[in-house]
Amino acid sequence: MTDVMHNFELFQPATLADAQAILGDHSDAWVLAGGMDSLDWFKHRVKQPAVVVDIGNIPDLHGIREEEDGGLWIGATTTLTEVNESEAVKSRFPILAEAALKVASPQIRNRGTIGGNVAQDTRCVYYRDGFPCYRAGGNTCYANTPTAMNREHALFEVSRCVAVSPSDTATALAALEGVFVVQRGGSQQEVAAEDFFIGPDVDITRMTMLEPGDILVGIRIPAKWAGSRQYFEKVADRNAWDFALVNVAMAASVEDGAISDISIVCGAVQCTPRRLSDVESLVRGEAPGEELESLVKRVAARGAEPLNFNHFKIPLMENLAVRAIRSLA
Amino acid sequence: MTKYGPYDPTLDYAPGPAPTRKGGGVETPSWKPLHMSRRNFLRGVVCSGVVIGGSAYLFSTTTPARSDTRAVERLVRLTVNGRTHSIEVPPNETLAHTIRYRLGLTGTKIGCNQGECGACTVLAGDTTIYSCSTLTHRVREVDITTVEGIAGPDGALHPVQQAFIDEIAPQCGFCTPGQVVTAVALLKKNPKPTIEEARLAMSGNLCRCGAYDHYLRGIMKAAERV
């Protein structure tokens, strides 16, 4: 059930410097981009920040630019529809365009931003319903009990919290080795995907390295995988609206019938997009085929520790990895 | 010992023993301050409304994105269906709420109120958005079109609306305003959609009656007529 939102003070700065000044003045300020997730938090009265900073009017954070080296820069408040329809994205990084198209529904993609999509909080129902779990500052996990509904939860790297990364574009960006540009204080930092997304062992209350006061400015995608062989697939209970049960994104280059380089990432299986480094080292230098596929199937989900109701994710993840490799044949 | 009289609803309720009507000297306690009558109260409400509305008209300017670091003001100008309204909107109000309860355009429905059903779909410029999940302050500079603005000025139905009638698309009708707006936006962008394109474009609108095929047939029919 939703409620009327609490009263908050709304700021709509026009420049990044103004936004930072406001965030500096108010320690509990909430950064709002598309608002597709933020407003749900407010309506459910789980989060009630006194100050909301709408960064949608800042031109520096918006748009898609082609970089000189052949890569792309995508502003954080670029909507998912813009990412999905951009010819530059489609021609160089089709898996990002496809991942953006698989998010939620058309109206949400028209408003939702890529920055918000990668930085969104987890979808664990217990956490979102306001249970005082580890992630919310409590001392228990309601999703990891014998009777808990945890079919959507994690297989890997569980540390008290079993929540998973909900984002589709984060999986694609991790596979493309995207770099996240974060404004912190007076300087901009470039953070690699494996450092941008953090697990509960690093900080259990956050999904990304963004701290209060930080603003995600944009995402830089290096030219490395531009125009390579790419594959994205998302499996969810429903075609529209739903978050992934498992998604997979792959970028690879094939030379003389053998896989010379590959980057493959699975989402929704742990708190961060999971790079399948076992699969990568296995297939590098090999020719795609049935033999390789059977080996990939054996290593893709190695080390998984399923909860009571998410065993199905293991074969799902294995098969998605196999399908990604099969697309190279 | 106190004697309690019979309950008399014509007297105002006051805690304690009911006052006797006859018997001299006992004043009837009343909650009404200063002899406030219903008529005076309404008069006051109407007048203050006029003052607020009038001052909104006098003092409002279009409010561009702020170049300083002050919070937004409550007075906004909002263009809905080609008409510009000067209204007072708190920062935490959604567009759906503003459209329905401040502007009285109740064609836009609020279904789930959390971006999961599509009944509140409106056009912001040429793109469809969930008005329940958009702050009104976010769309000050955009032209909003609701389902009331879809038909022509003479009341002639849009081809999409006529096609939905012909195909008996609405069953209970609650999702129909959203479906109409989304279909109109689709045909504006892509006048000759394939059925798969139409299905993808309409995937953000739920219909609990399950009349999806009827809506899709309506869109294909409307595409022939546009």
| Domain edges within chain B | 53-63+71-149, 151-226
Statement to judge: residues A239 and A217 lie in one domain: no
Task: Looking at the complex, report in whole angstroms how far the Cα of residue A61 sits from the nearest Cα belonging to chain B.
Answer: 14
Statement to judge: residues A256 and A295 lie in one domain: yes
Chain B neighbours among A 212-241 (CB < 8 Å)? 239-241
Beta strands in A222-257 (DSSP E): 229-235, 246-255
Q: Which residues of A touch B133 (CB under 8 A)?
A: 35-36, 39-40, 108, 111
Give the residue among A21, A315, A103, A3 at the shortest CA–CA distance from B204: A103
Question: Which of A107, A120, A125 is most worth mutating to test chain B (most B CB atoms within 10 A of its CB)?
Answer: A107
Q: How many domains does chain A have?
A: 3
> Are B135 and A35 in contact (CB < 8 Å)?
yes
Angstrom distance (rounded) from CA A181 to CA A202: 20
Domain's final residue, options A204, A224, A244: A224
Q: What is the ipTM of this complex?
A: 0.94
Has residue A139 been placed in a domain? no
The confidence score (pLDDT) of residue B8 equals 57
CB A225 within 8 A of CB A176: yes
pLDDT tens column, A55-114: 999 999 999 999 999 999 999 999 999 999 999 999 999 999 999 999 999 999 999 999
Has residue A156 been placed in a domain? no
Question: Which of B67, B69, B74 is most worth mutating to test chain A (most A CB atoms within 10 A of its CB)?
Answer: B69
Compare CB distances from A40 to B65, B114, B128 and report the shortest one's residue.
B114
Q: Which tokens belong to A85? A: 């329809």
Give the CATH number of the domain where residue A87 resides: 3.30.465.10
Question: Which of A6, A9, A11, A12 is most worth mutating to test chain B (most B CB atoms within 10 A of its CB)?
Answer: A12
> Are A2 and B112 in contact (CB < 8 Å)?
yes
Give the residue among B110, B185, B109 at the shortest CA–CA distance from B143: B185
Statement to judge: residues A198 and A72 lie in one domain: yes
CATH class of B53-63+71-149: alpha beta
Q: Which residues contact A39 (CB under 8 A, 6 or more apart)?
A: A5, B94, B114, B115, B133, B135
Has residue A137 been placed in a domain? no
Q: Which residues contact A295 (CB under 8 A, 6 or more apart)?
A: A282
Has residue A64 been placed in a domain? yes
> Are B182 and A107 in contact (CB < 8 Å)?
yes
Has residue A148 been placed in a domain? no
pLDDT tens column, A144-190: 999 999 999 999 999 999 999 999 999 999 999 999 999 998 899 99
Do domains B53-63+71-149 and B151-226 share one topology? The answer is no
> Are B128 and A107 in contact (CB < 8 Å)?
yes
Give the residue among A28, A32, A90 at the shortest CA–CA distance from B138: A32
Statement to judge: residues A188 and A248 lie in one domain: no
CB A180 within 8 A of CB A76: no
The confidence score (pLDDT) of residue B9 equals 53
Q: Is A15 on the interface with B (CB under 8 A)?
A: yes
CATH 1.10.150.120 describes domain B151-226: yes
Angstrom distance (rounded) from CA B56 to CA B222: 41
Q: Is A129 on the interface with B (CB under 8 A)?
A: no
Has residue A18 been placed in a domain? yes
Statement to judge: residues A205 and A251 lie in one domain: no
Count of all residues that appear for chain A in the document: 329
Percent of all residues in chain A with a pLDDT value above 70, rounded to a whole number: 100
Compare CB distances from A43 to B72, B113, B204 and report the shortest one's residue.
B113
Instruction: Quote the distance between the C-alpha of residue A75 and its chain's center.
Output: 15
Task: Looking at the complex, report in whole angstroms how far the Cα of residue A301 sits from the nearest Cα belonging to chain B.
Answer: 32
CB B222 within 8 A of CB B162: yes
Helix (H), strand (E) at residue B77: strand B75-80
Statement to judge: residues A94 and A207 lie in one domain: yes
Low-confidence residues of chain B: pLDDT under 50? 12-13, 24-26, 28-34, 56-58, 60-66
Q: Which residues of A touch B182 (CB under 8 A)?
A: 106-107
Give the CATH number of the domain where residue A38 resides: 3.30.43.10
> Are B203 and A25 in contact (CB < 8 Å)?
no
CB B95 within 8 A of CB B135: yes
The confidence score (pLDDT) of residue B52 equals 54
Return phi, psi of residue A61, to 5°.
-95, 5
Statement to judge: residues A241 and A293 lie in one domain: yes
Q: Which residues of B touch A238 (CB under 8 A)?
A: none
CB A77 within 8 A of CB A113: yes
Q: Which tokens belong to B128? A: 């469809």
Q: Which residues of B touch A17 (CB under 8 A)?
A: none
The confidence score (pLDDT) of residue A39 equals 97
Has residue A268 been placed in a domain? yes
Helix (H), strand (E) at residue A99: helix A94-101
Going by pLDDT thresholds of 50, 70 and 90, the confidence category of residue A1 is confident
The confidence score (pLDDT) of residue B65 equals 47
Statement to judge: residues A203 and A68 lie in one domain: yes
Give the CATH number of the domain where residue A291 resides: 3.30.390.50
Compare CB distances from B69 to A21, A32, A106 and report the shortest one's residue.
A21
Count of all residues that appear for chain B in the document: 226
Statement to judge: residues A249 and A307 lie in one domain: yes
The confidence score (pLDDT) of residue A29 equals 96
Give how far Cα A175 sits from Cα of A3, A301, A311, Å.
39, 17, 25
Q: Which residues of B touch A56 (CB under 8 A)?
A: 138
Beta strands in chain A (DSSP E): 9-11, 30-32, 51-54, 64-66, 72-75, 179-184, 187-192, 215-221, 229-235, 246-255, 258-267, 274-275
Question: How much is the average pLDDT of A127-138?
Answer: 95
| Structural domain of A191 | 59-120+166-224
Give the residue among A256, A276, A281 at the shortest CA–CA distance from A321: A276
If you count residue pairs, one on A and one on B, with CB atoms under 8 Å apart, how many are there?
106
Has residue A260 been placed in a domain? yes
Helix (H), strand (E) at residue B127: strand B127-130
Task: Looking at the complex, report in whole angstroms how far the Cα of residue B164 sits from the nearest Cα belonging to chain A.
Answer: 21
Q: Is A48 on the interface with B (CB under 8 A)?
A: no
SS3 A274: strand
